[in-house]
A and B are shown apart, each in its own frame.
Chain A
Amino acid sequence: MDELYLDNIDEFVNDHDKIVTYKWLSLTLGVHVNTAKQMLFHYLDHKRKESSPQLHATYLVSGKFVDKGQPGHTVSVVREDQLEDLKAKMSLIVSVHVYSVQKALLKDSGPLYSVDYDAVKDNLKSCSRYSAIRCAGAVPMSTQELQQTEREPQRAPSPELAAKRSGESKPAPKPSTKPQRGIMGMFANKAPAKSQESGKEVKPEQRGDEPMAVATKSKPAAKANPAMNFFGNQTSKKPDKAVKEEEAAAAAAAAAAAAAAAAVPSSCAAEQRHQSSPPEEKQEAAAAAAEEEEESPKDAKKDSRSKTKRIADSDSEEEKMEKKKRRRIKKPQPDSSDEDVIPDSPQQKETREPSPRPEMEVESVSHSHSLPGAKTRKRRRVLKARTFVDDEGCIVTEKGYESESYSEAEDDAKAAKRAPADFIPAKPPAGSREDEKKKSQKKTSANASKGSKQASIMGFFQKK
């Protein structure tokens, strides 16, 4: 092994300011991973002796570890300063080697993954070419075998994918859609991105609450998916931040949501049947609140919800909504399949977009029509996300939307929050509205929320 590699690594680390991981090095230089690890070690050694500008390293330690009385095998990537500590804690050290070398002190492990991501992606077919892990039975399937497996469990992967996507929907675009549709994929991705971004006119809390909502939703639907773990952690943190009086409700809802996952989508769907685009989010608020109330033993809330719905229906504005309501019910029926969930998701997908954009709606509907497999996925994702938004501390927000439409107030997000404040003697959120407006909206929104509750229950039964 010639000494050129030292110069190469030097160039990468110092001139390009890269993080050099052993995997990236092995793929770049075309050497076996063990060779790459040794190269990094020698480089580090060399540089440390020369006392040149500070280099940082991370190490991979693998060995037996007793965690709270449970023995197990642990593999950890640690910074240099934590290395000795970890080695001392382990009962048996199987291997220690350099994981990466870089100039920057990394605050977290995120960039380490990013570094390898592109290198592995470029070499996808042969990323294990230089790997030390071998399995004789792991042979890529031939195209015929692939087609067979694809045909058979076609349904099974799509719910998994849907669950995955619901978990990832919030911050990430959907890479699985991209290979299928180039430009259409862009618009499909834009829909959730837009709904996220157009939440500007919406209360501030909803933003923070949406990831929580998504997180809670992904929990019941969770399949083994590492991405879910990010959100799974969120769920545990969020209840602390929610309004105190609502903590119990939120927790109960989250717990019950797991059990009542089937009921949730159908009631959510039922809710949305009765609404139309302008108060889209409000409907979902009502829906979410409706599910919540059904699960928590608070009848007062339930009544208020249904009354809101009733009053909403009796409004003059509602006539338009009713027309749309009828249209909506007709639309998904041709597409209806066995599951209750599916017919509602085109609506929900449309209702998701807070600012009604006809072109986007048309696109999303036609888009969902075009590819049945993708349609299923999209619907599910939207469905879940909506439920989540409502389940978490965002109850306040969701109810708020609903109240807005019924009381015919302007975007009075703060005043809308008054509605749940009726039931929960929480502190009124800091707002810059006049008191009179608040009071009148308070009353109407309280009534409005009552009206919706009953209607939603009816919808629930009709759905069944």
Chain B
Amino acid sequence: MTTLTRQDLNFGQVIADILCEFLEVAIHLILYVREVYPSGIFQKRKKYNVPVQMSCHPELNQYIQDTLHCVKPLIEKNDAEKVVVVIMDKEHHPVERFVFEISQPPLLSISSETLLSHVEQLLRAFILKISVCDAILNNNPPGCSFTVLVHTRDAATRNMEKVQVIKDFPWIVADEQEVHMQEPRLIPLKTMTSDIVKMQLYVEERAQKT
């Protein structure tokens, strides 16, 4: 069994691919569970051998994919600290924030045959946790929208602004209004530690939602 280390060309790409696939599914699932969009646009599909709800709306799908496509290079270089899915009410004040904290251990190596199935199991647990999170969260007010923020380490965003990864899909620095939430309640959902990535998911919820 060969051991791949960080120096190997495709290694960062592999992790970024896995994480971006997972984030895509997670975002769709969050939109479904938190009822940001009507459930009619969602359809059962299969990921990691379990059923998940994915949206069929082409523009929504394209938006999410473009977003993650831009995030991927950041994850490859381990520049992305947090990926946050913010749900905002009509006045664009954040109501809920699903924070995925991502970190990669410095001495990465893929040296295990069962690594991928282990990672798959952990990601499955994440997905299950998102599915039942509405037990611990209050309902959102109607007419919510969502956005994705990325917190990066250092000044990685400077590169992003210089080079548009996808044409006509610019990333801008987020407003204070979108980043900070009044009276947040922190609810941890799930943590996972594996050889290739460490991820934590928690929800910050505004105490008063309506």
Contact = CB atoms under 8 A, between A and B. Distances in A.
Given A17-B135, A183-B4, A108 B53 contact: yes
B161 interface: no
A282 B118 CA distance: 38
Contacts of A108: 44, 51, 53
Interface string B113-125: 1011100110011
B10 interface: yes
B49 A19 contact: no
B132 A186 contact: no
B41 to A, nearest CB: 11
Interface stretch (A73-81, A89-97, A142-150, A201-209): A201-209
Given A118-B121, A197-B20, A234 B43 contact: yes
Interface string B45-71: 111111111101111011001101100
Contacts, number: 128
Interface string B27-53: 000001100000100011111111111
Interface residues of B, number: 58
A267 interface: no
B22 to A, nearest CB: 11
Interface in A159-195: 168, 170-173, 175, 178, 182-183, 185-187, 190, 193-194
Interface in B93-116: 110, 112-113, 115-116
Nearest to A122: B121
A462 B25 CA distance: 44
A107 interface: yes
Interface of B: prevailing SS = helix
Contact of A103 (B44, B69, B131, B132): B132
B44 A110 contact: yes
Q: How large is the interface on A (under 10, 10 to 19, 20 to 34, 35 or more residues)?
A: 35 or more
A230 B45 CA distance: 7
Contact of B132 (A19, A185, A204): A19
Contact of B46 (A104, A106, A171, A193): A171
Contact of B116 (A106, A110, A178, A211): A178
Given A117-B50, A170-B45, A107 B14 contact: no
A177 to B, nearest CB: 10
A449 to B, nearest CB: 23
A204 B46 contact: no
A115 interface: yes
A412 to B, nearest CB: 12
Given A103-B135, A186-B116, A227 B46 contact: yes
B76 interface: no
Interface of B: 1-2, 4, 9-10, 13-14, 17, 20-21, 25, 32-33, 39, 43-54, 56-59, 61-62, 65-66, 68-69, 72, 110, 112-113, 115-117, 120-121, 124-125, 127-129, 131-136, 166, 168
Interface of A: 17-19, 102-111, 113-115, 117-118, 168, 170-173, 175, 178, 182-183, 185-187, 190, 193-194, 197, 199-201, 204-205, 207-208, 211, 227, 230, 234, 359, 432
